[in-house]
């Protein structure tokens, strides 16, 4: 009954709103057409009820060529001075006029007047089981979070308010929210407010059996910017890496990124890299604003180990396998951060992986290497790394699959699966109860492999690089 009443009110109010705002909608349409030739509306996939995607409608507020407009260093713009936003777009955003087309979403049944604001589809992976409750109802044009701080509260706080709304929703509360929304829109409360605090996600947070407290305790900052001797030798230039620090505000994130560049410059580092969890979006944005460029995105999977059987087609490598592993490594990796880096030639990136593979077999870059064998020849390999330094803090023994590669002529025949299973068996022999592995987000075959083997996605991180000219 409540759903019928809510749907009826949605249709009535949406029709009334479209009649009242019809002249304004028509005027905005003309202005957008005249001032910036291109699409009038911006459509984007968002999460609807039960997690089903739908297309949300907004007036387009950015220029047609917005993706091509960047800072001189190649980084994306952010903040109030963003030149990608049209003049009329800035006005529409400040007054929330860009949201008016969503009344059409309400009419067709994708949205409701009141409900949780719809997140982008890829954000579903970061929902906890509790937060997924917000998907039990249709998303709304306004909601409890919008009258409780709007843009001045964090995403985590908004999700909590969304769940609170879902659990206690009724017609009376919807009407109260609608009434309280009016002053927020007319007085523009919290439209341009900045989020005062930023949640920081630590490495290993979200792994099976690892709490945030354990992940935070295991996080050791070490040197903020450190030189990488091996990378420097392979790439032929001074290389360094940033160990990010937790931040609690956008200002701290910006200061940290700037400090990283200055610290590296003082040490004579030219090639500076950093890897950041994509959920730390404020920090990622700050590093991009400071001049870092995205190289690749890594999806990390984890699996709780049980009984794993070794394959007859895989064995532990020995020194005689060095050349074969090196040659497979030389040609197997093409979409990694080294090959995507415009400052590194393909030959240098190929040779780096060959050396990496050889050193893994020798025990210098890995604790063990498993090789796959076809007709007596090495046809692929998996390198394995242990983390005894984290065992006490995390409360478990963790292993990492670092590199997985199969010779081109043997790909798609199931060899990678056999090698990974044999690697898991080796980890079990070492007393590991958990293993993780990372792969490029564009590597569809690898993503499917780990999912088929029972791995669960636990994190995504972005690799960024800055080239510093002294």
- What DSSP character marks residue 453? T
In this predicted structure, what is the pLDDT of residue 193? Answer: 44
Q: CB neighbours of 5 closer than 8 A, spacing ≥ 6?
A: 171
Beta carbons of 279 and 212 less than 8 angstroms apart? no
Phi, psi angle pair for 70, to nearest 5°: -140, 170
In this predicted structure, what is the pLDDT of residue 128? Answer: 79
- What DSSP character marks residue 120? B
Helix residue ranges, H only, 54-139: 87-95, 102-108
| SS3 category, 1 | coil
For the chain, the straight-line distance linking the first and the last C-alpha, in angstroms and rounded, comes to 70
Beta carbons of 279 and 247 less than 8 angstroms apart? no
Phi, psi angle pair for 332, to nearest 5°: -80, -30
In this predicted structure, what is the pLDDT of residue 322? Answer: 96
Q: Quick one: how many helices (H) and strands (E) in the chain?
A: 14, 14
Q: CB neighbours of 376 closer than 8 A, spacing ≥ 6?
A: none
Report the distance separating Cα 245 and Cα 252, nearest Å.
10
Each residue's pLDDT tens digit, 44-92: 889 999 999 999 999 988 876 654 454 444 444 444 456 778 888 888 8
In this predicted structure, what is the pLDDT of residue 186? Answer: 56
Report the distance separating Cα 322 and Cα 318, nearest Å.
8
Q: What is the CATH number of domain 306-432?
A: 3.40.630.30
In this predicted structure, what is the pLDDT of residue 72? Answer: 46
pLDDT in tens, the chain (470 residues): 578 888 999 999 999 999 999 999 999 999 988 887 778 988 888 999 999 999 999 998 887 665 445 444 444 444 445 677 888 888 888 788 889 999 999 999 999 999 999 988 877 877 778 889 999 999 999 988 877 755 555 566 677 888 888 988 888 888 888 888 876 665 554 444 444 445 677 788 888 888 877 887 777 656 789 999 999 999 999 999 999 988 877 778 888 898 899 899 989 999 999 999 988 888 988 899 888 999 988 999 999 998 777 888 999 999 999 999 999 999 999 888 899 898 999 999 999 999 999 999 999 999 999 999 999 999 999 999 999 988 888 889 999 999 999 999 999 899 999 999 999 999 999 999 999 999 987 788 888 999 999 999 999 999 999 999 86
Report the distance separating Cα 388 and Cα 370, nearest Å.
20
Per-domain residue ranges of the chain: 2-186, 212-296, 306-432
Report the distance separating Cα 256 and Cα 396, nearest Å.
32
């Amino acid at each position: 009954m409540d759903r019928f009443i809510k749907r009826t009110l949605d249709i009535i109010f949406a029709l009334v709103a479209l009649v009242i705002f019809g002249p304004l909608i028509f005027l905005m349409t003309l202005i957008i057409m005249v001032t910036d030739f291109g699409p009038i509306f911006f459509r984007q996939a968002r999460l609807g009820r039960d997690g089903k995607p739908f297309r949300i409608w907004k007036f387009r507020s950015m220029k047609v060529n917005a993706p091509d407009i960047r800072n001189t260093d190649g980084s994306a713009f952010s903040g109030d001075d963003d030149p990608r936003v049209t003049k009329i777009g800035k006005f529409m955003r400040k007054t929330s006029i860009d949201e008016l087309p969503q009344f059409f979403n309400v009419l067709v049944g994708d949205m409701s007047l009141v409900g949780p604001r719809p997140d982008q589809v890829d954000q579903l992976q970061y929902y906890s089981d509790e937060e997924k409750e917000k998907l039990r109802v249709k998303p709304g044009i306004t909601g409890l979070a919008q009258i409780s701080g709007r843009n001045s509260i964090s995403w985590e706080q908004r999700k909590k308010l969304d769940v609170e709304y879902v659990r206690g929703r009724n017609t009376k509360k919807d009407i109260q929210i609608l009434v309280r929304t009016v002053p927020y829109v007319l007085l523009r409360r919290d439209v341009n407010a900045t989020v005062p605090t930023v949640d920081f996600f630590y490495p290993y947070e979200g792994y099976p059996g690892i709490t945030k407290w354990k992940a935070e305790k295991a996080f050791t900052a070490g040197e903020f910017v450190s030189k990488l001797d091996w990378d420097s030798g392979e790439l032929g230039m001074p290389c360094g890496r940033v160990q990010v620090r937790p931040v609690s505000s956008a200002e701290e994130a910006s200061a940290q990124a700037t400090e990283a560049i200055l610290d590296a410059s003082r040490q004579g580092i030219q090639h500076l890299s950093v890897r950041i969890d994509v959920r730390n979006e404020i920090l990622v944005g700050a590093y991009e604003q400071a001049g870092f460029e995205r190289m690749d995105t890594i999806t990390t999977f984890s699996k709780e180990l049980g009984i794993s059987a070794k394959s007859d087609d895989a064995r532990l490598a020995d020194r005689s396998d060095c050349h074969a592993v090196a040659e497979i490594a030389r040609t197997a990796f093409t979409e990694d951060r080294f090959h995507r880096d415009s400052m590194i030639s393909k030959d240098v990136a190929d040779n780096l992986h060959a050396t990496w593979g050889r050193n893994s077999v020798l025990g210098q870059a890995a604790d063990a290497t498993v090789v796959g064998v076809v007709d007596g020849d090495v046809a692929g390999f998996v390198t394995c790394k242990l983390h005894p330094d984290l065992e006490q803090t995390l409360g478990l023994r963790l292993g990492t699959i670092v590199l997985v590669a199969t010779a081109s002529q043997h790909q798609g025949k199931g060899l990678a699966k056999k090698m990974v299973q044999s690697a898991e068996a080796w980890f079990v022999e070492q007393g590991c109860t958990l293993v993780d592995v990372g792969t490029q987000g564009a590597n569809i075959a690898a993503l499917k492999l780990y999912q088929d083997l029972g791995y669960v996605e636990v994190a995504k991180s972005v690799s960024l690089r800055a080239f510093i000219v002294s």
